Homo-oligomer: A and B are copies of this chain.
Amino acid sequence: MKQVKKTVKPDVQEPVHVSDKTLREFMGYNLKRSFNVIQSELIQILEPFGLRMVTYSTLVMIADNPGMRQSHLSDALSIERPNLVVIIDELERRELIMREQSKIDRRAFELRVTLAGKQLCEKATEANRQSEARLLKDIDPEIQKLMLQTLNKIEKSYDG
């Protein structure tokens, strides 16, 4: 059984007055709500490419960092090493990436995208760009930039 229900509900919304005013105070709640909308879109955009969010971001990271190792990827994407293995397996089985034993440390594997992987990655990324642009079309580009900066500031505020 496939799972396609990661999408936000159709939300026909009966006229039932439910207030989330307390939760609305919080940045975290608002962040999650809007992320859910973007996530729903992204899942639909990636589906025709046979990619899930996690396989897509893994593919992109390998394309951006040729020769990187699974342990570094695990750190960068905050995916536990054991869970990354099956993701890498899937991408390798589809011949989108390759594992190559490192010559300087034979415990490790260097990861690289194949030509097909690079092409799929670029197509998916372009589709994402267009999808996000559509979603953010009514938001001033300057405000978008400010928002990205602020989000990074929040992210970096962890531990300093």
| A4 contacts the other chain (CB 8 A) | no
Determine whether the beta carbon of B125 is less than 8 Å from that of A37: no
> Which A residues form the contact surface with B (CB < 8 A)?
8-9, 11, 13, 16, 18-23, 25-40, 42, 57, 60-61, 63-65, 68, 72-73, 75-76, 78, 125, 128-129, 132, 135-136, 138-139, 143-144, 146-148, 150-155, 157-159
CB distance from A154 to the nearest CB of B (A): 4
Contact indicator B154/A78 (Cβ below 8 Å): no
CB pair A35–B36 under 8 Å, yes or no, is no
Nearest CB in chain B to that of A17: its residue: B65
Residue of B nearest to A5 (CB): B80
| CB of A145 to closest CB in B, whole Å | 11
**Contacting pair A19 B64 (CB below 8 A):** yes
Q: Is A28 touching B18 in the complex (CB atoms < 8 A)?
A: no
Which secondary structure characterizes the binding site on chain A?
Answer: helix
Contact of A34 among B11, B31, B64 (CB under 8 A): B31
Q: In the complex, which residues of chain B have a beta carbon less than 8 angstroms from the beta carbon of A157?
A: 37, 135-136, 138
Given contacts A37-B155, A38-B154, A78-B36, whether A27 and B136 have CB atoms under 8 Å apart is yes
Judge whether A34 and B146 touch: CB under 8 Å: no
- In the complex, what distance in Å separates the CA atom of A34 from the CA atom of B32? 10
Contact in complex: B23, A31 (CB < 8 Å) = no
Q: Which residues of B contact A129 (CB under 8 A)?
A: 25
Cross-chain contact B38 with A28 (CB below 8 angstroms): yes
Cα distance, A158 to B10, chains bound together (Å): 9
Listed from nearest, the 10 A-B pairs whose CB atoms lie closest are A28-B38, A34-B154, A34-B155, A34-B151, A30-B151, A37-B158, A18-B76, A31-B35, A33-B155, A22-B60
